[in-house]
Structure 1
Amino acid sequence: MSIKPEIVERAEQPYVGVRGTVTMETFGKIADRMPELIGSLLQRGVELAGAPFFRYTRIDMANELEVEAGVPVNAAIPEQGEQFNGVLPAGRYVCLTHIGHPDELVDVTGQLLTWAAEQGLTWDNTGQQWGCRLEILKTNPTVEPDMTKWETELAFRLAD
């Protein structure tokens, strides 16, 4: 599979999220929070400002991942329960759109990391801690239930 990433400038983006510590096997524990988060925001009358995403803040594939399930909003809102306000940082991001089952994202991510290394690019990370590494969920599963047709954008921030 040949990938065609792009480097794009992204503006900062406020969001509301929930966070969790999971493994690759228990990722559903954070993924399953997304409908609850979106439903809560809509119920509160919050206007969504983009597609929901997963933000990986710490990645230790052998042990655990710290992940946020987030939804872009236009401005910070009063926090409720485990929900918090955050801001995705502005900057240059390597972006790649994948159409296919989410299970394929591990391989696609590996290809993206290899491509970036070949280009001499430096990530916004220190070891396992990432400044901003996103999987943006472009497909609404209630509209397209076939997971092999889902569109996911990977957006990983580069070091300044």
Structure 2
Amino acid sequence: MLTLPEIIEFQARKYVATRLSVVIPFDNEVDPAFDELWDAFARAGVEPDGIEFMKFNLIDMPRLEIEVGMTTDSTLPLSGRLVHGELPSGRYVSSTYTGSYDGLYDATAMLIGWAKEKGIKWDVTPTEEGDLFACRLEIHENNPSIEPDPSRLVTTLMIKMADGEGLE
């Protein structure tokens, strides 16, 4: 199930993430990246209690640069693929999907199609390497360690709109 898209205001949030380059399908690479992230929180003695997300930085289908992360105000020492960053404030198109992660590709396509129909422009820069998004997120409201039934997983999709964009 996918909710109707809405435009929201989002305030900037600092984060720590594991950055990786992947090729679709990349399911087998996500859990080890989250494990690397959780290990960094544990080594720093910081409880991960922010927003859990996947951030899609660079898209050149089927190649992607993604970050699996957690918002936090704490400073963690970086090693390996870990990076600090900030989810930028601004206007986002948001929609919530309930169901197996297998359905996220189609849910995202529907969200993008809705925005295209409405004439909404993303905060994205075309580069030789692919489309570089200011912020394109899958926020995990729960995850399989909390909700073992895949049909009950809840993921919020959010894509930052270009500055000055929006429906009046």
TM-score normalised by L of structure 1: 0.90
- Give the alignment of 1:2-17 within 5 angstroms: 3-17=3-17
- CA positional deviation for 1:2: 6.8
- CA positional deviation for 1:120: 1.2
One-letter amino acid of the structure 1 residue matched with residue 99 of structure 2? G
Question: Partners in 1 of 2:81 and 2:25 — Cα distance?
Answer: 23
Match of 2:141 in 1: 138
Moved over 4 A (4+): none
Question: Partners in 1 of 2:97 and 2:135 — Cα distance?
Answer: 18
Question: Partners in 2 of 1:2 and 1:96 — Cα distance?
Answer: 7
* RMSD over equivalenced CA pairs, Å: 1.8
Question: Partners in 1 of 2:82 and 2:24 — Cα distance?
Answer: 23
Question: Partners in 2 of 1:6 and 1:88 — Cα distance?
Answer: 19
Is the aligned partner of 1:152 residue 2:155?
Answer: yes
- CA positional deviation for 1:90: 0.6
Question: Partners in 2 of 1:114 and 1:81 — Cα distance?
Answer: 37
One-letter amino acid of the structure 2 residue matched with residue 19 of structure 1? R
- CA positional deviation for 1:130: 0.8
Residues 14-35 of structure 1, C-alpha deviation per residue, up to 9 Å, x if partnerless?
A: 0001111111123421343113
One-letter amino acid of the structure 2 residue matched with residue 50 of structure 1? G
Match of 1:28 in 2: 28
Residues 89-118 of structure 1, C-alpha deviation per residue, up to 9 Å, x if partnerless?
A: 111011111000111011111110110011
Residues 57-79 of structure 1, C-alpha deviation per residue, up to 9 Å, x if partnerless?
A: 11122x31111111100144332
Residues 117-144 of structure 1, C-alpha deviation per residue, up to 9 Å, x if partnerless?
A: 1111110102311110000111132221
The SS at the match of 2:19 is strand
Match of 1:96 in 2: 95
Q: Extract unaligned runs of 5+ from structure 2.
A: 164-168
Residues 95 and 153 of structure 1 are in contact (CA less than 8 Å); yes or no, is this contact kept in structure 2?
Answer: yes
TM-score normalised by L of structure 2: 0.86
Residues 19 and 66 of structure 2 are in contact (CA less than 8 Å); yes or no, is this contact kept in structure 1?
Answer: yes
> Greater shift after overlay, 69-78 or 30-39?
30-39
The SS at the match of 1:32 is helix
Q: Extract unaligned runs of 5+ from structure 1.
A: none
- Give the alignment of 1:8-157 within 5 angstroms: 8-61=8-61, 63-127=62-126, 128-157=131-160
- CA positional deviation for 1:43: 4.0
Q: Residues 44 and 19 of structure 1: is their aligned pair in 2 closer, same or farther, counting only changes over 3 Å? A: same
Give me the identity figure in percent.
Answer: 38
